[in-house]
Chain A
Amino acid sequence: MTAALPVLILLTSLIPAGVTFFLPQDRHLLRNTLNLGGAVLKLALIVAMLVAVGGGAVYEVALPLAPGLVLLLRVDELALLFVSLSATLWLLTTIYAIAYFGRKPELSRFFGFFSLCVAATTGLALSGSLISFFLFFELLTLSTWPLVAHKQDGASLKAARSYLLYALPGSVALLWAIIWLESATGPVLFTEPPDLGALDPWALRAIFALFILGVGVKAALVPLHGWLPAAMAAPAPVSALLHAVAVVKAGAFGVVRVIYDVFGAATVAALGVGVPLAVLASITILWGSVRALQQDEIKKRLAFSTVSQVSYIVLGAALAGPYAMIGGLVHLIHQGLMKITLFFCAGIYDERAGVKRIEGLNGLGARMPWTSTCFSLGALGMIGLPPMAGFVSKLYLGLGAVEVGAPWVLAVLAGSTLLNAAYFLPLLYRLWFLPAAADAEGDERAPALVGPAVVTAAGTVGVGLLAASAISPLGWASLIVTRGYAP
């Protein structure tokens, strides 16, 4: 039973995906039950595993796929961090998506790929070896494409094409890195650091660069981020999933795995590639914010904000001190909660009030108080206002930066804070202070849309307010670092 748990978790998404594809469009009830049931079951399994793994248990299962190719699923603390994020937010996004799409066409296709996308994310998180990681990474790339293209209009198709054009070279780079590395070291398992002595330092640096190129496309590192702002043409639930749970997080998670479980923090430091990566992440943080400042479309502003915020995770991993790593890992959860709140709200503004651009936000606070409160909390969290989620991440990243002797990162964090304030506060000002246009309309009588946003917004405050308790994301991230990566 315990060995089967990781497989079961994977199946809770895979089975709904497989079945949903064959459901006729009008079987709404069955489709929704299936998807929600899968999501709830998955969450329950994960809670059970969290308790067990917290107590020190490790689940591992190897599935031979082809001769010489073993799919290794392994549940460790780091994997669970990512899986519990994706499972929680998947459930909420499913509820939201069901309400968002209502009776629109092609829902079986949508929910099929939606579940597949989450299955891929889950598999990627649970992967215990590089090659398993790669398989799920590719599955994720391919299952996301139909979601981005879902509306089938010009903009969506263009965005989907741009996504593939960025993702495929990334995949090639990743595959190349894996082959190059494994040809020298044999199969790389995340539990056993590979013996890198067979490769000379420059080859290792090249492999590291290829790895970062490969996962960096998904993590939207500048200059590989062009696809992400374009992809905001997708429907709101997809954006929420893309920005908070699946794709960009897969990239960031990949960076963490590569640094800590493939190369090892010490090797990364010895090769001297950690600092350049931290610099790249810093550039991304500032560049994304500067670009966000100039966007007039709400979702585009949020998209550039994601570019910036996801690199906090990369920055934390690259700095490689214990505090920085905790800060980066906890931001994996925190950014997810905050950003999904913002995208949920952006979707509600669009769907219920027809508001896509920031001018439309004027005076919306009075008519849509719940949505606007959630949006405000998400935005303030992003700025890093204490005691919200973003503050905790920033605090640990800052401590970590000083700890590893990189105080210049403080300037990056400060600059990012100011820029975040500069592009979020005017939105809040519009929501609550400016008068609404005379012909403005819209309401928020859609509990299934507003409910998930309220839950994630409460989470944004809760994880910060209770950060010091053992069951908080911060507590779990500290557990990961002390158990697995303490120097």
Chain B
Amino acid sequence: MNGLLTGSIWPLAVLVWPLLMGVVPLIPAWRTQAPWALPLAPLPALAFAALGAPGTTGVPDLVLGVELAAVPGGALLIGMTAAVWTVAGWQAALTLARGWRTGILVGFWCLTLAGNLGVFLAGDVVTFYLAFAAVSLAAWFLVVHDRTEGALAAGRVYITLAVMGETALLAGLLIGAQAADSLQITAVREALAVAPLGSVALALLIIGFGIKAGMVPLHVWLPLAHPVAPVPGSAVLSGAIVKAGLIGLVLFLPAGTGWGGLLVALGFLGAFGAALWGLTQRNPKAVLAYSTVSQMGLMLALVGAGQSAAFYALHHGLAKGALFLLVGVTAAASGTTARRVTLVLSGIVALSVAGLPLTGGALAKAAVKDGLAPAAAWAVTLSGVTTTLILGWFLHRLAVSIKPAPGPNWAALLAGTALLGAAALLLPWLLWSGTTDLPAGYPLRPGTMFDAAWPVLLGLALAAVLLRRPPPEQPPGDLLTLWRRPVLSPATHGPAVALPRPPLRRLMRLLVLTRRPEGALQRWSTAGLLLVGTVLLLAILLAAG
């Protein structure tokens, strides 16, 4: 059977293995142990990334011809993604209750994982879209896993935005593929820069990817979904899944278009706005969600400015995944020592995200600032203040609001998460010379250290003030709550299900109007009229002919 598969089998195996793991819950004998498939599913990807993501695969008969090859910076991103998913899977296997609901989660978790890895491996537009749809839509099951009212409501917002994003994305990709007369991602990107409808396509793509990447103002699903999803689900959402939107923009946004400026503007708006708005939250996971919006804002700005965001994304993914998982570890820390150890570890990882000198985060920031215009570099430095502030607030909320419950093995949970945190702190050191052009001693120079240190110190000082006078609490979802008004009483307004909000309600009424002409069509007097009309028409035509 020559021609079924060309090239190396490894990129394909990286994607197929999680899909196989996803089938485990369907086998009755394995069902109760199925969650242990979760930490195993990303292992081939981890090994693949450690080897530098080598090789390409072609499967010409699959869908419209699947081509796999790691994207630029793919080894870093695949490695980060696989690491976050592995440790989150470990925590999920240790903490989730066994039952049919977890079985469903396991299946869709693995599908989401395959999609998440797939966006970093796709060589053609259709494969990319397929992977993106998998990571985007299957992740809905991570959000609604608990089936609480809040989870289902967040799920509704999530799936609505995800489907809209998918639709926008497909339209944009179709325009690009047609203009390029090719399904190759590189060809499509080049064609988008010059195609007559290129700007329409780019606008659609930015909407589609922006929703996923948490770009302000399309980020509203993030702060709603994170607090309600199970802890490991939040970790992969925030650490890895949002990066799918980022890589989409990296892959498809042609260099030197006006859209880059828009991304920079929206990115910095999110970087500062979300970090400050996050201070109005009380749930530590909601605070972290806003921190993710803020950090993604920085990365979007980097992409808009034409910088590589992969190194930064590597650190953020590992660190943010670890911080989310630490919420779960804290909940399992019953003794005082255990609690203290967990909080200290959370503090160290948080400081790394803020960019404290000598941490992985400081290296990531130093690397990206080097290529930026002075104003943008200054903004990145300044964002250290707000990041420190929101993460300080997170640590405070973590300490006061998470009550330990007797539960699973704290030490085992901590071990996995500590590995992830250590990777966030140390990996940038190991990868420094391979991924940046800067000299090896650059992070240790006094100037660099000073640039990294003062925002953190200033942020810590502000955080101390903030703890004394916390801002008023606001519901998560910011912009979404602005246009949601109290639902009118169902007794006076039509159907008993009073779900739609006023703007939607007006739309619904418009839809109902279509019933009238439809009813007329189904009355048989109309059909009779049609018959008579046809005869008359024929007579006229006969006379004319």
In the complex, A464 has a CB within 8 A of chain B: yes
Chain B 478-531 interface residues, beta-carbon cutoff 8 Å to A: 511-512, 514-515, 517-518, 521-522, 524, 526-528, 530-531
A394 and B170 in contact (CB under 8 A), knowing A386-B129, A418-B163? yes
Residues of A within 8 A of B533 (CB): 169
A146 touches B (CB below 8 Å): no
The answer for the CA separation of A411 and B167 in the assembled complex, in Å, is 10
**B168 touching A203, Cβ below 8 Å:** no
A224–B517 CA distance with the chains assembled, in angstroms: 12
Given contacts A425-B159, A465-B62, A468-B63, contact A162 B527 (CB under 8 A): yes
Among B171-179, B229-237, B469-477, the stretch that binds chain A is: B171-179
Judge if B133 is at the interface, Cβ distance under 8 Å. Answer: yes
Shortest distance between the CB of B178 and any CB in chain A (Å): 4
Q: Is the CB of A468 within 8 A of B514?
A: no
Cβ distance A238 to chain B, nearest Cβ, rounded Å: 19
**Least Cβ distance of A115 to chain B in Å?**
28
Return the CB mask of B284-299 against A: 1 if under 8 Å, else 0: 0000000000000000
Stretch at the interface among B79-87, B274-282, B354-362, B534-542: B534-542
Q: What is the distance, in angstroms, from B80's C-beta to the closest C-beta of chain A?
A: 25
Within 8 A of A (CB), among B39-64: 60-64
Residue A293 contacts which of B511, B524, B528 (CB distance < 8 angstroms)? B511
Check if A176 sits within 8 Å of B541, measured CB to CB: yes
Report the minimum CB–CB distance from A214 to chain B (whole Å): 10
Q: A262 to nearest B CB, angstroms?
A: 18
Q: Which of A180, A213, A224, A413 contacts B545 (CB 8 A)?
A: A180
Does B60 lie within 8 Å of A417, measured CB to CB?
Answer: no
Whether, in the assembled complex, B126 has its beta carbon less than 8 Å from a beta carbon of chain A, the answer is yes
A467 sits at the interface (CB 8 A): yes
Q: Does B13 contact A (CB under 8 A)?
A: no
Whole-angstrom distance between the Cβ of A425 and the nearest chain B Cβ? 7
Measured CA separation A168–B152 after assembly (Å): 50
CB distance from A362 to the nearest CB of B (A): 14
Q: Is A225 an interface residue, CB under 8 A from the partner?
A: yes
Q: Is the CB of B524 within 8 A of A414?
A: no
A287 on interface, CB distance cutoff 8 Å: yes
B383: shortest Cβ distance to chain A, in Å?
A: 36
CB–CB B164/A386 < 8 A: no
CB 8 Å contact bits of A158-178 with B (1 = contact, 0 = none): 100110011011001100100
Among the listed stretches A81-89, A246-254, A402-410, A438-446, which one makes contact with chain B, having 4 or more residues with CB under 8 Å of it? Answer: A402-410
B99 within 8 A of A: no
Question: At the interface, yes or no: B203 with Cβ under 8 Å from chain A?
Answer: no
Within 8 A of B (CB), among A164-197: 165-166, 168-169, 172-173, 176, 180
Question: Interface readout for A415-454 with B: 1 if CB under 8 Å, 0 if not?
Answer: 0011001000100000001000000000000000000000
- Report which of B200, B521, B526 forms a contact with A225, defined as CB distance below 8 A: B521
Contacts of A385 in B (CB 8 A): 133, 137
Chain A residues with CB under 8 A of B175? 402, 407, 410
The answer, among B60, B64, B167, B515, for a CB contact under 8 Å with A294, is: B515
In the complex, the answer to whether A172 meets B515 with C-beta atoms within 8 Å is no
Q: Is the CB of A403 within 8 A of B178?
A: yes
Give the distance to chain A from B5, nearest Cβ to Cβ, in Å: 13
Is B340 part of the contact surface with A, judged by Cβ < 8 Å? Answer: no
Which residues 127-148 in B have Cβ within 8 Å of A in the complex?
129-130, 133, 137, 144, 147
In chain A, what residue has the closest Cβ to B533? A169
CB closest chain-A residue, reference B521? A226
Within 8 A of A (CB), among B153-170: 159, 163-164, 166-168, 170
Q: Which residues of A contact B515 (CB under 8 A)?
A: 294
Docked pose: A398 CA to B125 CA in angstroms = 14
Interface membership of B65, Cβ < 8 A: yes
Complex-state Cα separation, A398 to B159, whole angstroms: 23
CA distance A230 to B528 in the complex (A): 16
Contact check: which of B126, B527, B535 meets A172 at CB < 8 Å? B535
A172 to B536 Cα, complex, angstroms = 12
Identify which of A168, A203, A414 contacts B167 (C-beta below 8 A).
Answer: A414
With A172-B534, A386-B129, A468-B63 in contact, is A294–B527 under 8 Å at CB? no
Judged by a CB distance under 8 angstroms, whether B197 is at the interface is yes
Known A-B contacts A387-B130, A392-B64, A466-B62; the reply to A168 vs B531 at CB < 8 A is yes
> Which residues on the B side are within 8 Å of A464 (C-beta)?
63
CB distance from B318 to the nearest CB of A (A): 30
Nearest CB in chain A to that of B515: its residue: A294
CA distance A72 to B175 in the complex (A): 42
Q: Are A468 and B167 in contact (CB under 8 A)?
A: no
Chain B residue at minimal CB-CB distance from A321: B178
Q: How many interface residues does chain B have, given as a range?
A: 35 or more
Kindly report which residue of chain A lies nearest to residue B526, judged by CB atoms: A226
Q: What is the chain A residue whose CB lies nearest that of B164?
A: A418
Task: Tell me the minimal C-beta distance from A152 to chain B in angstroms.
Answer: 18
Please, how many angstroms separate the alpha-carbon atoms of A206 and B512 in the complex? Answer: 35
Interface centre among A168, A384, A468 (most CB of B within 10 A): A468
Q: A433–B64 contact, CB under 8 A?
A: no
B103 to chain A, nearest CB (A): 12
Closest CB in chain A relative to B512 CB, distance in Å: 7
Q: Does A223 belong to the interface (CB within 8 Å)?
A: yes
Contact across chains for B538 and A468 when beta carbons are under 8 A apart:
no
Complex alpha-carbon distance, A469 and B1, angstroms: 13
Q: Write the A31-65 contact mask toward B (1 if CB under 8 angstroms, else 0).
A: 00000000000000000000000000000000000
Q: B170 contacts A465, CB within 8 Å?
A: no
Residue A357 is within 8 A (CB to CB) of chain B in the complex: no
Which residues, 370 to 400 on A, are CB-close (under 8 Å) to B?
A: 384-387, 392, 394-395, 398-399
Tell me whether B530 and A166 are in contact (CB under 8 A): yes
In the complex, what residues of A have CB within 8 A of residue B129's CB? 386
Task: Looking at the assembled complex, report how far the CB atom of A283 sits from the nearest CB atom of chain B, in whole angstroms.
Answer: 12
Query: Are A417 and B167 closer than 8 Å at their CB atoms?
Result: yes
* Whole-angstrom CA separation of A468 from B518 in the bound complex: 40
Interface residue A8 (Cβ < 8 Å from any Cβ of B): no
A418 to chain B: which residues have CB within 8 Å?
A: 163-164, 167
A229 at the interface (CB under 8 A from B): yes
Kindly identify which residue among A176, A213, A399, A414 contacts B178, using a CB–CB cutoff of 8 Å. A399
- Given A385-B137, A464-B63: A291 and B514 interface contact (C-beta under 8 Å): yes
For the complex, is A290 an interface residue (Cβ under 8 Å from B)? Answer: yes
Q: Which residues on the B side are within 8 Å of A227 (C-beta)?
A: 527
Contact A287 B174 (CB under 8 A): no
**Residues 165-199 of chain B, each 1 if its beta carbon lies under 8 Å from chain A, else 0:** 01110110011011100000000000000000100
- CB-CB < 8 A to A469: which residues of B? 61
A414 touches B171 (CB 8 A): yes
Asked if residues A176 and B538 are in contact (CB atoms below 8 Å), the reply is: yes
- A209's nearest neighbour on chain B, judged by CB, is B537
Chain A: minimal CB distance from B544 (Å):
8
Chain B residues within an 8 Å CB radius of A173: 534, 538
With contacts A418-B163, A465-B62 taken as known, whether A165 is within 8 angstroms of B522 at the C-beta atoms is: no
- CB-defined contacts of A287 to chain B, threshold 8 Å: 514
Contact with A along B392-411 (1 / 0, CB 8 A): 00000000000000000000
Given contacts A398-B170, A402-B179, A417-B167, list 4 more A-B pairs with CB under 8 A: A169-B535, A213-B534, A229-B522, A291-B518
The 9 closest A-B pairs by CB, nearest first: A226-B521, A165-B527, A398-B174, A402-B178, A169-B534, A469-B61, A386-B130, A410-B171, A387-B63
Q: Please name 16 pairs of A and B residues whose Cβ atoms are closer than 8 Å in the assembled complex, sorted by A.
A: A162-B522, A172-B534, A176-B538, A226-B518, A290-B514, A294-B512, A323-B178, A385-B137, A386-B63, A395-B170, A403-B178, A413-B171, A418-B167, A421-B163, A465-B62, A466-B63
Where the two chains meet, the residues of A that have a C-beta atom closer than 8 Å to any C-beta of B are 158, 161-162, 165-166, 168-169, 172-173, 176, 180, 203, 206, 210, 213, 223-227, 229-230, 287, 290-291, 293-294, 323, 384-387, 392, 394-395, 398-399, 402-403, 407, 410-411, 413-414, 417-418, 421, 425, 433, 464-469
Query: Residues of B at under 8 Å CB distance from A?
Result: 60-65, 126, 129-130, 133, 137, 144, 147, 152, 159, 163-164, 166-168, 170-171, 174-175, 177-179, 197, 200, 511-512, 514-515, 517-518, 521-522, 524, 526-528, 530-531, 533-535, 538, 541, 545
